[in-house]
Amino acid sequence: MPVWSVDADLKLVPRTVTRVFPSGIKTVFNLTLASGRAVKASANHPFLTVDGWRRLDELEVGTRVAVPRSVPAPLRPQSWRDESVVLLAHLLGDESGSLRQPVRCRTSDRSVLNAVRRAAVALGSPASVHRQGNWWSVQLGADHPAGPDPVGRWLERLGLLGLRHRETFVPPAVAQLASPQLALFLRHLWASGGTLGWRDGRVDIGLVSSSRRLVDDVQQLLTRFGIESRVARAAANRAGADAWAVEVVVAASQRRFPGRDRGLRLPHPAGAAAAHQASGRLGGGR
């Protein structure tokens, strides 16, 4: 099985797993970095530090551990229809919509409305639009469907149909897309659920969701483009539910953000932002 591995120069290179073996039942710890990245591992699992490889139970709060600045594209990338990429991004980014039958997406942005409607029709799902004050609601499929329509069946295969928004995630297949389609996914995800502009004199690039799993997935996807980000708790939404944010705060990463050349332009150069360097220290979670 091909995987990415670290060579002697600390570069990611393709390698082949030659052996898999059981190691018994062990206590598993949750290792959390200041950037919000987290991994579950046993006490003897090695991590690369500035002092070489060290076991998890030898690490202390404040220890710096290595994480990849960027992750290469898959060795065998997948390809989706662009309409599928666009529609999935908006359905995951729009927390006011519904992933239950009939699937709905709500937006105040006419360009998002048109993108969702075009994608749904191209995938064979009838789309009806209803105006609700300053918002539009796009319904995919019939009011009382006997079963999932084409979009519903597709969401069911991805494991998303019927989920609440706090349960959503980015399907693993998205990480297997070639970089141009992954950039397309991120641009449309941000168009529905993200921010990209200026706030309090600083560049503001972030995405808020009630699903911790989803923002963790997005943080991983951003590394394809060499984008450093951090995950943190966000202000609770109007329903009082927990919320999480993935934020791009490093100026160099802001300049790499996909979409600055495709309609999601910053109003001012990102290099002028008073951005802070993201920390790579352990946050003390266990």
Whole-number Å distance between alpha carbons of 138 and 105: 5
Q: How far apart are CA 222 and CA 250, in angstroms?
A: 13
The predicted structure's pLDDT at residue 88: 96
Q: Verify cis geometry, omega within 30 degrees of 0, for the bond prior to 102.
A: yes
Would you call 143 helix, strand, or coil by DSSP? coil
pLDDT score, position 264: 40
Cβ–Cβ under 8 Å, residues 230 and 262 = no
**Domain boundaries 100-162, CATH class:** alpha beta
With bands split at pLDDT 50, 70 and 90, how would you rate the model's confidence at 284? very low
What are the residue ranges spanned by the domains of the chain?
100-162, 172-272
Could you give the dihedral angle defined by the CA atoms of residues 88, 164, 106 and 218, in that order, rounded to the nearest 10 degrees?
Answer: -40
Choice among 2-11, 94-103, 110-119, 158-167 with the minimum mean pLDDT: 2-11
Distance of alpha carbon 254 from alpha carbon 195, whole angstroms? 12
User: Above 70 in pLDDT, residue 236?
Assistant: no
Tell me how long the chain is.
286
pLDDT for 190 beyond 90: yes
Q: What is the pTM of this model?
A: 0.83
pLDDT digits (tens, 9 = 90+) for 30-89: 999 999 999 999 999 999 999 999 999 999 999 999 888 888 888 889 999 999 999 999
User: In whole angstroms, what is the distance from residue 134 CA to residue 122 CA?
Assistant: 26
Architecture of domain 172-272: Roll (3.10)
Please report, rounded to a whole number, the percentage of residues in the chain having pLDDT higher than 90: 50
* Number of Cβ within a 10 Å radius of residue 63: 16
Q: Which two tokens stand for residue 106?
A: 């709500």
What would the two tokens of residue 73 be? 């594209």
Contact 253, 228 (CB under 8 A): yes
